[in-house]
Structure 1
């Protein structure tokens, strides 16, 4: 690629370069006195400022490059419990363009209650029949019995007559992540280090190159971790493995090469790109602190489980696309995109094909792989990368300083509850943002579709119960939860659907005041809010008559609707003139009356007239919908009695 000089673009000299002060002045005119910080400056969960404009990056910042440039690996999960069906799906993935298989054995968190039920070489051979190990990359999702699974796969490779160095396998052992997810570890750290060192030595003696261990960010992310928290946990996990292996006499260079990273690609493009870039730079810093010449770590990225929704699941296609795009731009070595139906159960071939083809389009049509580190030099990306480096390093240092039961580092931080407390605070903050729709979920909390059609899956999600604590476990901690952001709204929709299945979907009557122009905005807002909880909110052309609201027609329509809850919708001017009188009439007709909008100075007379609640932007929507369901389902309950 040739560089472009100013001489090649003579027309650029015809335009004066505006200064930041000139830009700020123009912005202030548009804001018309509004607060610049509140309107145009955002903040991440870690408190990092997101500026509306960044200057071009300057200086010679370190480049977070991959070890091998070019195409990333297209990963597909093998997780069907039946070997024959797992094999059929795996071969379809490979024939369709995947070149990496993620093997999720039964018990793996990524299998979501499904997973390969292979305990013998013969059973694993049946599931992977026809898969040419020397032409694809294999990776094992962390699972209980990770050492056993790793050795089982090694036995199969050798059984097919292949040398260990002829295949690419990430054996995916992650006992720290397993401890965080399950809450138990069967041995103390010294013995764990011995077992890991022995397993790695045995695999290397058979020619396998690894990596053998992975520092997996998914357990922390699914428990609510911010970007910096995930980075800190991944670094602290990797450093724990370095220490354990070094204690067993393994040279640090070999211990370093035994480790890979697994990071989550979320729906925020800028933060995902910056997080992956920051991870490489932070790992370089760890290596330098260990006296090593930095070597790029292999990073597998997977789209976020917590961002998936069961409602309007086709929106997950968009989430997967932006997350996959961001992982590619951020420099992932392999990427797995969750099928859009994954939250509903075991994905079928169609959902898997769409996930796979999303990556192929990004590779073949968007050509994202052709540029190494495309974010380099962009002021916004460089600033966010640097900020995440600083925040991630701080989180890493915090974990390193923790201890519990004589154990330091991230395991000690799990034992003493430091990790759980920090993630609980982050979950609470995000839950509030989700409940108030400050962080909207399209198709769930915003723009829900009560008439959405069903999608096909191979099997519904099994009832995953927390396993009983291992009474013989050497280390016990409070296990981290695995949550999706949409779950509070999905629970409300499920309650409403029970009523709908019985023939009476919960309904709210939108009492529109004035003409269409006066009530449309707030009626649309109210409908959107109520339908997020599965409550129907039909409306028509209103009840305007001679420039005012025909109250008799409105009350008659309410009586004929069968609804118990009525929500007033109109403009502020009409509220001042008519809302109190209409509320009183509706209350007399048996309605529980709410109003769409902030009441302001009208609150006292409106409450006196019968308005019991107000819905507006920023209200706790989850709590509001719980109240609405309690009202709107009472009729159905009475009818049942």
Structure 2
């Protein structure tokens, strides 16, 4: 016989809890005292109850849709790729670093390429069918770079289905750094689509919200502007004869995870849901668990002060990325803001992902946040805000029109300035910077970055504080 241990207790509604909290506040306003608000105007309550899930029924189909089944007995259901990045011209030295990293827990490579690399040296003794490889072209004309890479792949007799990964290049977003023409971008992407069509597991297009993030955008701006740019590209590619389904199935999501743990986690979940529902609008059926998400830890949140504190930020951001549904994780070295790198920082970056898997067991539970009263509501709030912003962008003529008129750039720069001033005034706490600062005697004031009105260049949250408080050059 089963007993309901709670049947003797009265049911308490959310309204009852709010009334009790209001009583304890002794005259203070509940919302003004206990309800916070993000820069996007999303309200975050001090508590959530089961009643709040009534509003999130539309998200139910996405719960536990994080990863495809690996299909190998004994492997954890929750799987992600641990990425090591390679950037430079000393192919033999980089090759040794890559092999060592692959022996120490990495299982994916992110190559930032110019196109003149000697791949025989760079990828010597690296067996691509057993890892994922992502290519970041250092050019707004990536076709030639990828063509040379694919030619090398064919020479290695790698089967088309054994090449896993994709291109980390958003041609639309790249216009915010280097001017380009929409038609030229579409032609370049069509060439990539044709080139990579025989490779079912290698993506030819990426939607890059990371660039907006590193320029200081809010969560909603990140997702709305990156998806709006993708919609602009979709229409052009369709006019060039490429079917919607082919485009969507060759696309990966590229994002950065910041230090606002719960908000960033829900941002990534919302990103995948938005992409899935966008595909449905074009009558394309996608499996949510197979939508690839490449996430890197944030450049925006890091500081050149108390540099080792960046390792803590990386850890929080990596957890947000994994709980948010990332398939591939790149933890950037913590000393990167100083413009240098060393073996220790690269090893620590790799170890964060290793520890989260091997010691924290984040790979043992498929979707730990599914059904959370708070996180499901926050995901829905971000989703609805981004959807509303996308509708406004379309009403104003689309991404390209807003880009040409500098509206996107101005809005992101406004957000950047607000956030940097919050650090400068101490309203946003940055440990090691405006709270418990370390030894800053030798830290020089950051150099002024020349940014044109049409550009959105990477910055960092503590820029104004460092400018005011660092040693003058």
TM-score of the two chains, using structure 1 as the length reference: 0.66
Query: 1:61: how far off?
Result: 3.0
Deviations 1:277-318 (A, max 9, x none): 111221122112112223332111111110011111111111
Assess if the C-alpha contact under 8 Å between 1:263 and 1:301 holds in 2: yes
| Counterpart in the other structure of 1:241 | 233
| Counterpart in the other structure of 2:461 | 485
The runs of at least 4 consecutive aligned structure 1 residues that moved more than 6 Å come to: 451-454, 462-467
Cα root mean square deviation, aligned: 2.7
TM-score of the two chains, using structure 2 as the length reference: 0.88
| Counterpart in the other structure of 1:339 | 333
| Counterpart in the other structure of 1:621 | none
Query: 1:193: how far off?
Result: 2.2
Question: C-alpha distance in 1, partners of 2:121/2:200?
Answer: 22
Question: C-alpha distance in 1, partners of 2:471/2:389?
Answer: 40
Assess if the C-alpha contact under 8 Å between 2:424 and 2:462 holds in 1: no
Q: Where in structure 2 are the equivalents of 1:6-405 lying within 5 Å?
A: 7=2, 11-12=5-6, 18-28=12-22, 30-56=24-50, 57-58=53-54, 60-62=57-59, 63-64=61-62, 65-66=65-66, 68-69=68-69, 70-105=78-113, 119-120=116-117, 123-144=118-139, 145-182=141-178, 184-185=179-180, 188-205=181-198, 207=199, 209-296=201-288, 297-403=291-397
DSSP 3-state at the match of 1:141: strand
Match of 1:420 among 388, 404, 409: 409
Question: C-alpha distance in 1, partners of 2:81/2:126?
Answer: 16
User: Any gaps of 5 or more consecutive residues in structure 2?
Assistant: 70-77
Query: 1:245: how far off?
Result: 2.1
Assess if the C-alpha contact under 8 Å between 1:146 and 1:172 holds in 2: no
Question: C-alpha distance in 2, partners of 1:14/1:395?
Answer: 47
1:434 maps to 2:423: yes
Question: C-alpha distance in 2, partners of 1:172/1:412?
Answer: 24
DSSP 3-state at the match of 2:286: coil
Cα 1:52/1:18, change in 2 over 3 Å: same
Query: 1:232: how far off?
Result: 0.6
Question: C-alpha distance in 2, partners of 1:300/1:396?
Answer: 22
Assess if the C-alpha contact under 8 Å between 1:101 and 1:139 holds in 2: yes
DSSP 3-state at the match of 2:304: coil
Assess if the C-alpha contact under 8 Å between 1:312 and 1:452 holds in 2: no
Assess if the C-alpha contact under 8 Å between 1:231 and 1:396 holds in 2: no
Q: How many residues align?
A: 455
Higher relative contact order (CA 8 A, sep 6+): 2
Cα 1:22/1:194, change in 2 over 3 Å: closer
Cα 1:422/1:301, change in 2 over 3 Å: same
Cα 1:356/1:15, change in 2 over 3 Å: farther
| Counterpart in the other structure of 1:541 | none
Assess if the C-alpha contact under 8 Å between 2:137 and 2:145 holds in 1: no
Question: C-alpha distance in 1, partners of 2:358/2:43?
Answer: 35
Question: C-alpha distance in 2, partners of 1:201/1:464?
Answer: 42
Q: Where in structure 2 are the equivalents of 1:609-624 lying within 5 Å?
A: none
Match of 1:450 among 423, 436, 439: 439
